[in-house]
A = this chain, B = another copy of it.
Amino acid sequence: MTDRPFKQYDYLDDPAAIYRASFATIRAEAELSKVPADVEKIVVRMIHASGDVGLVPDVEAHPLLVSTARDALNSGRPIFTDAEMIASGVTRRRLPAGNEVRCLLRDPRVAELAKEWRTTRSAAAVSLWGEDLEGAVVAIGNAPTALFALLELISDGGPKPAAILGIPVGFVGSAESKLALVQHPEQIPYLVVHGRRGGSALCAAALNALAREDEL
């Protein structure tokens, strides 16, 4: 059996102690007093995944987000996402009902549709999510075009998810797509990180916090 390398540096290496110390530091430093109680753990976990306590003021959640998304997950509904990294970042043992996490970006039909529609593969993939999207949880953490496409699909009378995490990242359309989600007439319960920040790590962290009340 391999030996552990000589411990040359002084650092915490007990996994549970690291988590506890991290969450304690976040709670000591982040201004969480205005965050609704049931959203607090989601914000803390997103800060944990990004190392950035400055996220707090940009997070906005619909009042029914946590309860609706948890009900959907507890009843076994799938999670749809726009990026393989997010699917990879979901901690499977935290999911309450062995929920499927589906990303269709690599579906062979996607490239063809994207070309035909002159849009991104991320946006085209949304139209392939199909009827299972009804009552599911959506987690968009990469492409603003995917979030716009989802809202357009819903406006067109397509299947309605139970909850939408709108955390795409970037400099083109990201902030606008989150505003469109918050202002969408259907008012499907949402969580957004307003502005340009977002991405797969933040989005997976939000999903992992939603999946289970317990932090460890």
B-binding residues in A (CB < 8 A): 1-2, 4-9, 11-15, 18, 21-22, 25-26, 48-52, 84-85, 87-89, 113-114, 116-121, 123-124, 127-128, 144-145, 148-149, 151-153, 155-156, 158, 169-174, 176-177, 180, 195-202, 204
Contacts and interface: CB of A to CB of B under 8 A. Distances in A.
A117 B26 contact: no
A197 B152 contact: no
Contact of A88 (B88, B116, B120): B88
A159 B128 CA distance: 46
Given A7-B152, A21-B172, A176-B11, A201 B85 contact: yes
A202 B89 CA distance: 14
A152 B18 contact: no
A49 B199 contact: yes
A180 B51 CA distance: 18
Contacts of A195: 51
Given A51-B195, A172-B18, A200-B201, A123 B13 contact: yes
B4 A127 contact: yes
A51 B15 contact: no
Name which of A1, A48, A113, A170 has the most chain B CB atoms within 10 A of its CB.
Answer: A170
